[in-house]
Amino acid sequence: MTALTKPVRVRYAPSPTGDFHVGGARTALFNYLFARHHGGNFILRIEDTDQKRYNPEAVNWLLNGLRYLGLDWDEGPEVGGEYGPYVQTERLSIYQHYCQQLLDNDLAYRCFATPEELDEMRRERKPKGLPTYDRRYRDYDPAKALERADSGESHVIRIKLPLEGNITVHDAIRGDITFQNEILEDVIIVKSDGIPTYHMANVIDDHLMEISHILRGDEWVSSMPLHIHLYNAFGWEPPTMAHLPVILNPTGKGKMSKRESRAPDGQILPVFVRTFEELGYLSDAMVNYMALVGWSYDDKTEIMDREELIERFSLDRVNASPASWNYEKLNYFNGVYMRALTPEALAKQIMPYVKEAGINADYDTLVKIAPFIQERLNVLSDAPQWVDFFFVDELPAYDLNMLVPKKMSLEDVPSILKTAHDILAQTEFNHDAIDAALRVGVKTLGIKAGQMFQPIRIAVCGKMVAPPLFNTLEILGKETTLKRLEQTLSRLEQN
């Protein structure tokens, strides 16, 4: 990449029409990393000119999602800045000024085509591969157009684009791309309600906010010639543009869904940032994984903290080819980051999920449990199923057949549990002592270790899968362990 000749100023400029998608989050992240790498500014701008689709709640989802990911912005909503306002509907007078400039210089024109006329043009021209609008008002007398506009006649304003020749635009990731001017349309830059379209407002804002680099999704590649023509019309130097690779579904076929679904096993497949947060993906894991969806540092390095990502990020290593989203890989990253937490930090992280599940847990006990479930969690919201039995007075009813070890029957279980009860009643309650004592019981009964440990696990945990048995018993304590063994023996007697 060539040396930078001016201060780096990048922006993430979403349209708040729906939930904050990970595709948008990846774009925000790349802008953030690029700005931080070059000691520049990361600007957040809300592009809300499409008022028909505008959703106020989407702004909250966006801001909360950026905060969750730790992508702090230097200028924008809530923090301000000298280039504000940073919400486009608060900048309408600015756009009106520049629109009038284009009209005065005969670089734009008023169009009075009706919806019916536009539909007819579309039917006739689209099958021929022609621009759908036939430019019928392109050379219309500006004075007459102004008179009709002043009388209140509905109209839009369109940009005058060149009718012939080519335009070559440079993309920092994809290289030079050439477009034929004759296939470009004189697109609308101001709608009939007087609000500018995305293209017009976007170009004006990027110039006035002194944006140096535009990093955005590849769906905007086709808009590059229009934007460059707008810059040329105003006599402005365009920023460096870089279009990021599309994110594909996990199968590698088709763009990543805009809607959440479920895997065959019932697990939710999130696509919205707030769902990832609700499920309990750690922010640092999300950032690390997302950075590698379309970018790489080398062929082997995967785990990188935020500072390492900032230090290493460059557009040179962004791939133009699409990148697939991989939930298993994300779970692996999340596991790596969760295993790096101290027991105290993990307990603090899982506490909200445990409380939300209705479990009356205490922090000190969760700290004791944390090291023994740390390897088993994919996401923080998995925690309740691993800790619930520690915090109940009586276990929920379970199928007594779960107590039966392999090659044994239900009739064999009472003697195993009674032996375990008698041994544990006389045992010091720590991991090593419990381990040694129960293995003596295994020899006494003449059975395999698993045949003794399974019924004990079910009796004290109420489930087949639980944290390591001896650690579990130590945390539960002697009184609770013996009580649960007694309750199970009582159930077996009544069976």
Q: Are 474 and 430 in contact (CB under 8 A)?
A: yes
| Chain centre distance of CA 463 | 34
Confidence of residue 266 (pLDDT cuts 50, 70, 90): confident
For the residues of 339-353, what is the DSSP string, one character each? HTS-HHHHHHHHHHH
Q: Report whether the peptide linkage leading into residue 322 is cis, meaning its omega lies within 30 degrees of zero.
A: no
3 state DSSP class of 433: helix
Q: How many helices (H) and strands (E) does the chain have?
A: 19, 13
Supply 195's token pair.
């609000």
Supply 100's token pair.
């009038």
Q: Are 220 and 119 in contact (CB under 8 A)?
A: no
| Chain centre distance of CA 408 | 49
3 state DSSP class of 107: coil
- Per-residue pLDDT at 35 exceeds 60: yes
Supply 305's token pair.
């903290």
Report pLDDT digits (tens) over 50-106: 888 899 999 999 999 999 999 999 999 999 999 999 999 999 999 999 999 999 999
Confidence of residue 352 (pLDDT cuts 50, 70, 90): very high
Q: Which of 405, 420, 419 is nearest to 473 (CA)?
A: 420
Confidence of residue 350 (pLDDT cuts 50, 70, 90): very high
Residues in the chain: 495
Query: Quick one: pLDDT at residue 2?
Result: 47
Query: Quick one: pLDDT at residue 220?
Result: 95
Q: Are 238 and 231 in contact (CB under 8 A)?
A: yes
- The whole model's pTM is what? 0.92
Instruction: Tell me if residue 258 is catalytic.
Output: yes
Query: Quick one: pLDDT at residue 50?
Result: 86
Q: Residue 190 corresponds to which amino acid?
A: V
- Per-residue pLDDT at 1 exceeds 50: no
Query: Quick one: pLDDT at residue 5?
Result: 74
The residue from 6, 144, 255, 258 that is catalytic is 258
Percent of the chain at pLDDT above 70?
99
Report pLDDT digits (tens) over 467-481: 999 999 999 999 999
Over the range 154-193, which residues count as b (16 or more CB within 10 Å of their CB) and which as e? ebbbbbbbeeeeebebebbbbeebebeeeebbbbbbbbee
Report all structural domains of the chain as residue ranges with CATH numbers, in order of start. Answer: 400-494 (1.10.10.350)
Query: Quick one: pLDDT at residue 89?
Result: 94
- Residue pointed to by tokens 């779960």: 402
- Residue pointed to by tokens 């900032």: 310
Q: Which of 199, 166, 271, 240 is nearest to 50 (CA)?
A: 199
Query: Quick one: pLDDT at residue 3?
Result: 55
Query: Quick one: pLDDT at residue 495?
Result: 80
- How do 213-217 and 188-190 pair as beta strands? unpaired
> Measured at the alpha carbon of residue 398, what is the angle toward residues 425 and 366, in degrees to the nearest 5?
60
Mean pLDDT score of the chain:
96
Instruction: Give the mean pLDDT of 144-171.
Output: 97
